[in-house]
Amino acid sequence: MTASLHTLRVVGPVLDGADPRVTDEVAAFNTTHTPRPALVVGATSAEDVAAAVRWAAEHGFRVAVQSTGHGLSSDLAGTVLVSTRRMSAVAVDPAARTARVGAGVRWREVIDAAAPFGLASLSGSSSGVGVVGYTLGGGLGPLARRHGFAADHVRSVQLVTADGAIRRVDADGDPDLFWALRGGSGNFGIVTELEFDLVPVTTLYGGGIFFPGEAAADVLHAYRTWVGTLPEETTTSVALLRLPPLPELPEPLRGRFVVHLRFAHLGPADEGAALLAPMRAAAPAVLDLVADMPYAAVDSIHMDPTDPMPTWERGTTLRELPAAAVDELLAVAGPDVAVPLIMVELRHLGGAVGRPAAVPNAVAGRDAAFSLLALGPTAGPLAETMPAITQSVVDRMAPWAARGALLNFLGSAGPERVGRLWDDADRARLLAVRDRLDPDRRLAPGHALVR
């Protein structure tokens, strides 16, 4: 391979898979998998990406892409891996209320660039996640019930397709590809730039309330009836957390089993507090952190970990959450069960999430009422058992399952599970676009579509 590398003309670095610098170049947030590409191209532009894709095709390699590694779900063995983190341009157009970002941008950069103009992005629970990977998989954040998925607000996409061509796609040009890209993830090309709408949000009434593990049944049963009373301006989730004894956690949470209610209300504090009152009355809190807050502090709602860690996750969606479903969830992951899960999370959907985007797209899971995610560590012997443990949570909730899952919460999943996200018609449409643009299956996306 080294002999032919002189034909790969890019501005960014090119690293052989055995080069020790690869470790830093593709260091991922999820360390369960260690990337083992044959070659890494540190792309600086769409032209670099196109050159890498063409070179890979000429030399018989498949092409993968990585930004932050928050969604790393395999070791990418033998691929040419395009690392996008140098593609870091962010431009906010305050008049048009849009942002245009390079493929390596994380949400934090967009949030900080948009805030001075009184604008916010439809980012998710953690601003360390990459904009492109998140958005191509749908993108569900704390404003979701009011504004929908991030993918619903994409205006245009620049990408390099498997033939090495640089294309710009929007609602008017190649509508099938524009539909598929927004929700069908990395199956159609390597996105080099994304343009999307921002929303006029500066503050919200939000944050988290931590309840003691002993109150899990009271809190979850209150939650399942309470969410039905909430307006679309309110987006919530609730998680059963087995927290490690980390010094960076507030003292009352260290090493404890807690129930974490996350609350985000687009409206004045008194309105938000009135909506939240039934949950505040459900049980005494260990810590109540809900208050008026700037959107820029959005990470404080979920308080996701920020340091890389080895985890395995499995997600599904639920069509309803009756009392029996809450009891089953407590039986499989509640405070009385000895199970090494870090988090079992329910996110309330509905509202704008449940309606098609203004320009329809391929985001799956709109008809569900809740997203369910089970996540655990894969350190040591848990690497062997965690896939089955997380799957068992999903299996036990099967009686209430909606069809499929949200792609971003699917976890490591083979083509059979990926394919089940869509109904037959949408899956056929996605596959037709994929076959047209990548007939030789050169692309190796995290969530691959297969016939």
Ligand X SMILES: Cc1cc2nc3c(=O)[nH]c(=O)nc-3n(C[C@H](O)[C@H](O)[C@H](O)COP(=O)(O)OP(=O)(O)OC[C@H]3O[C@@H](n4cnc5c(N)ncnc54)[C@H](O)[C@@H]3O)c2cc1C
Q: Is 191 in the site for ligand X (CB under 6 A)?
A: yes
Q: Which of 103, 279, 373, 430 binds ligand X (CB under 6 A)?
A: 103
Tell me how crowded residue 351 is: count the other CB atoms within 10 A of its CB: 18
Q: Which is nearer to ligand X, 85 or 282 (CB)?
A: 85
Cα maximum dimension of the chain: 69
Position of tokens 């962010």? 90
Q: Is 80 in the site for ligand X (CB under 6 A)?
A: no
Q: Is 365 in the site for ligand X (CB under 6 A)?
A: no
Q: How far is the CB of 111 from ligand X (least distance, A)?
A: 13
Query: Phi, psi at residue 316, to the nearest 5°?
Result: -155, 180
Q: Which of 17, 37, 42, 69 binds ligand X (CB under 6 A)?
A: 69
Q: Is 138 in the site for ligand X (CB under 6 A)?
A: yes
**Binding footprint of ligand X, residue count (CB under 6 A):** 33
Please, which of residues 376-415 interact with ligand X by CB under 6 A?
Answer: 408
Q: Which of 35, 206, 351, 446 binds ligand X (CB under 6 A)?
A: 446
Q: Which of 32, 44, 45, 67 binds ligand X (CB under 6 A)?
A: 67
Tell me how crowded residue 348 is: count the other CB atoms within 10 A of its CB: 24
Q: How far is the CB of 447 from ligand X (least distance, A)?
A: 6
Contact call for residues 114 and 120 (beta carbons, < 8 A): yes
Q: Is 139 in the site for ligand X (CB under 6 A)?
A: yes
Q: Is 344 in the site for ligand X (CB under 6 A)?
A: no
Q: Which of 190, 215, 293, 352 binds ligand X (CB under 6 A)?
A: 190
Q: Is 125 in the site for ligand X (CB under 6 A)?
A: yes
Cα separation, 264 vs 371, whole angstroms: 17
Q: Which of 32, 44, 79, 126 binds ligand X (CB under 6 A)?
A: 126
Position of tokens 């830093």? 24
Classify 30 in phi/psi space as left (phi over 0), alpha (psi -120 to 50) or beta: beta
Cα separation, 1 vs 443, whole angstroms: 19
Q: Which stretch binds ligand X (CB under 6 A): 32-40, 123-131, 164-172, 430-438?
A: 123-131
Please, which of residues 284-303 interact with ligand X by CB under 6 A?
Answer: none
Q: Which of 32, 44, 45, 84 binds ligand X (CB under 6 A)?
A: 84
DSSP 256: -
Six token digits for residue 363: 């985001």
Q: How far is the CB of 91 from ligand X (least distance, A)?
A: 17
Q: Helix 424-437 vs helix 175-184: angle between axes, to the nearest 10 degrees?
A: 110
Nearest to 394 by CA among 376, 367, 377: 376
Q: How far is the CB of 250 from ligand X (least distance, A)?
A: 19
Q: Is 239 in the site for ligand X (CB under 6 A)?
A: no
Q: Is 29 in the site for ligand X (CB under 6 A)?
A: yes
Cα separation, 55 vs 308, whole angstroms: 32
Q: DSSP labels for 312-325? A: EEEEEEES---HHH
Cα separation, 297 vs 243, whole angstroms: 22
Name the residue with the smallest CB distance to ligand X. Answer: 133
Q: How far is the CB of 107 from ligand X (least distance, A)?
A: 9
Q: Which positions ≥6 away from 345 have C-beta within 8 Å?
A: 237, 238, 239, 240, 371, 372, 373, 375
- 417, exposed or middle or buried, with CB in 10 Å at 0-12, 13-18, 19+? middle
Q: Is 66 in the site for ligand X (CB under 6 A)?
A: yes
Cα separation, 191 vs 49, whole angstroms: 9
Cα separation, 279 vs 35, whole angstroms: 43
Q: Is 130 in the site for ligand X (CB under 6 A)?
A: yes
Q: Which of 55, 61, 134, 400 binds ligand X (CB under 6 A)?
A: 134
Q: Which of 14, 22, 72, 342 binds ligand X (CB under 6 A)?
A: 72
Q: Is 238 in the site for ligand X (CB under 6 A)?
A: no
Q: Which is nearer to ligand X, 71 or 310 (CB)?
A: 71
DSSP 175: H
Q: Which of 65, 342, 349, 397 binds ligand X (CB under 6 A)?
A: 65
Q: Which is nearer to ligand X, 217 or 309 (CB)?
A: 309
Q: Which is nearer to ligand X, 8 or 76 (CB)?
A: 76
Q: How far is the CB of 380 from ligand X (least distance, A)?
A: 20
Cα separation, 362 vs 255, whole angstroms: 40
Q: Is 186 in the site for ligand X (CB under 6 A)?
A: yes
* CA dihedral (276, 280, 285, 289) positive or negative: positive
C-alpha 83, offset from chain centre: 18
Q: How far is the CB of 187 from ligand X (least distance, A)?
A: 8
Q: Which stretch binds ligand X (CB under 6 A): 134-142, 219-227, 247-255, 426-434?
A: 134-142
- 359, exposed or middle or buried, with CB in 10 Å at 0-12, 13-18, 19+? middle
Contacts to ligand X by CB under 6 A:
29, 65-72, 84, 103, 124-126, 129-130, 132-134, 136-141, 185-186, 190-191, 304, 408, 445-446
